[in-house]
Amino acid sequence: MLYKKENKKLYFILPAILILIFLVKFLVNQNYRSKSNLILRVKGIVLKNPNKVGNFYQIRLNKINVKLSKSQAKKIYQGDYVELIGRLDKRVIWGFYKQNWLIYPELINIDSHIFLNKQKPEYYLLQIFYKKINNLNSLIIGYFRKLFPENDASLLAGMVLGTKDLFNKQNYNYLKDSGLIHLAVASGTNIAFLFIFSLSFINLFSISKLLKYFLVEFILLIYTILAGFDPPIVRAAIMLSLISFSKIQGRKTHILWILGNTILLMLSFNTDMLVSLSFYMSIIATYAVVYYSNYISLLLEVARRKLPLLENFAFFLKSSEVSQILAVQLWLWPLLLLVFGKVNILAFFSNLAVGFVVPIIMSGGILLIFASAISMYLGQIIAWFLLPMLGWINFVARLTSQHAVFINSKLSILVVSLWWIILMALLNIKKIKYV
């Protein structure tokens, strides 16, 4: 493809607009409902099923986070019209970000039926859309439960849809302690596979490139909502969308520009991302894979050539998977020590042990959904193929969790920042001698 000559000024227009939008939304949100201890009535459509956070559940209505008990959460589903009354609590997260929380809420009204509200007619369309999404989500989870044992069904639901509610406490702790908890969140790999699958199917029809682009984007949007807007999914969807649109326009764009604008878009839509650990982990892991894994590969090649003993592990050291996992761990461990104060040393080995099956399970899980929609017999065939791999992940998680070797050290933000600066500085080394 012949790319258009770039106007460098255009590279700064979109980031500037997004920064402005983010700053305005940030200032508005920080001053929204500035007083605490108000008795507040909140109502609206639930856009996402209640999310479990520690010992309570959370939903978000009209810029306010609502803290629900387990019994209340069980009554509320995506697409429901909900009215609550409770006490407003202003919380400061990480020392700088203010969040509005409705605590000790009382459920005034829950209406799961679609109705036309004359005062808020937009609720009607929202309810129809999100009810359909919730029904689709329930249908998919039903497929998983029919085709897999409980532990495998919960793991697949986490990997494909980001659903954590199916995990029992013991298995969830195994994933957390083994360093595999990221598998309980839908991955950007799913978006990449769905993008390729959707585009391959749409290419069978003679329609314009722009229409193909919008159809694929609509499919990615539906999946992003199904996955509960998990940051890795949103990040991957935006990045792929920007890359695809640039190709349609015949423009060549730098991956750092794509990643930077993706970050700004995510923050502009939801300023709460500023205090989302999953958001930071997704961005840092992406940066590590894109920019640092090649450097790690080069270092491993140097080590292999200088240390003859390592020749026996040549196949292992040349694997791109090894360099990617090492790169991600180097960048993420300081963040995990900052937030949690401990990291399992065996996390590298557990990720390495399951790394080769993760993309197969994620793509196979999406394929299983389409196959099961056609026939449960087709779904069962794919399930038999995925079952040993899901069992392998559960086995590795249990083994490395039960024999965990933790580094217990609470790092400061200054130490973490210094560590990342050193890693970035290492990329500026111009020459690495092979012999």
> How large a percentage of the chain has pLDDT more than 70?
89
- Topology, domain 33-111: OB fold (Dihydrolipoamide Acetyltransferase, E2P) (2.40.50)
Q: What is the pLDDT of residue 3?
A: 45
- Residue ranges of the domains in the chain? 33-111, 145-165+173-426
Question: How would DSSP label each residue in 309-349?
Answer: GGGGGHHHHH-HHHHHHHHHHHHHHHHHHHHTSEEETTHHH
- pLDDT tens across 60-115, in order? 888 888 999 888 888 888 888 889 999 988 888 877 888 888 888 888 887 766 55
Half-sphere exposure of 434 (CA within 13 A, CB side): 4
> How large a percentage of the chain has pLDDT more than 90?
16
Q: What is the pLDDT of residue 32?
A: 66
Read off the pLDDT band of 154 (50, 70, 90): very high
Which of 91-100, 150-159, 242-251, 396-405 is least confident?
242-251
Identity of the amino acid at 409? S
Mean pLDDT of the chain: 83
Contact 162, 156 (CB under 8 A): no
What mean pLDDT comes out for the span 245-254? 74
In this predicted structure, the answer to whether residue 35 has a pLDDT above a threshold of 70 is no
Of 321, 349, 331, the C-alpha closest to 292 is 331
pTM above 0.85, yes or no: no
